[in-house]
Amino acid sequence: MRALQLAMIPDDENGQVLKRMIEDGDDLERPRPIDFYHVFAEESDAQDFAAAASAQSDLVVEGPDFDDDDGIWEVSATRVMAARHAAITALETELAELATRYRGYPDGWGCDPATDTH
């Protein structure tokens, strides 16, 4: 079963992350918060992106927060969902397009392994 599951995941960057998760014993079908990160040079752009992303009822948006080390503004958008390749890629693309409208760009996604509490 695991070999089939691994074979069905596309061999791209998201697929590589998901395959590692499966190999680590994670059940990708179990919903968990998945965080999508975005960065901006200007606070006003980060604020505008955060407001626009917050319009989606199933997203929790945090930030903008200033990263002193990198000199950028960061915003995260979180959705509780199963870690499915198509769903992650679709939301990642949608949020990247939104960030681009505000002169920002995506900075990856991440999540913890699924637990009984999610």
Which residues, in sequence order, are bridge partners of residue 72?
67
Confidence grade of residue 10 (pLDDT, cut at 50, 70, 90): confident
> What is d(CA 55, CA 53) in angstroms, rounded to the nearest whole number?
5
User: pLDDT of 54-87, one tens digit each?
Assistant: 998 899 999 999 999 999 999 999 999 999 999 9
Question: Dihedrals φ, ψ of 47, to 5°?
Answer: -65, -40
DSSP output for 102-116? TTEEEEEEEEPPP-T
Domain 29-111 = CATH 3.30.70.970: yes
User: pLDDT of 19-63, one tens digit each?
Assistant: 999 989 899 999 999 999 999 999 999 999 999 999 988 999 999
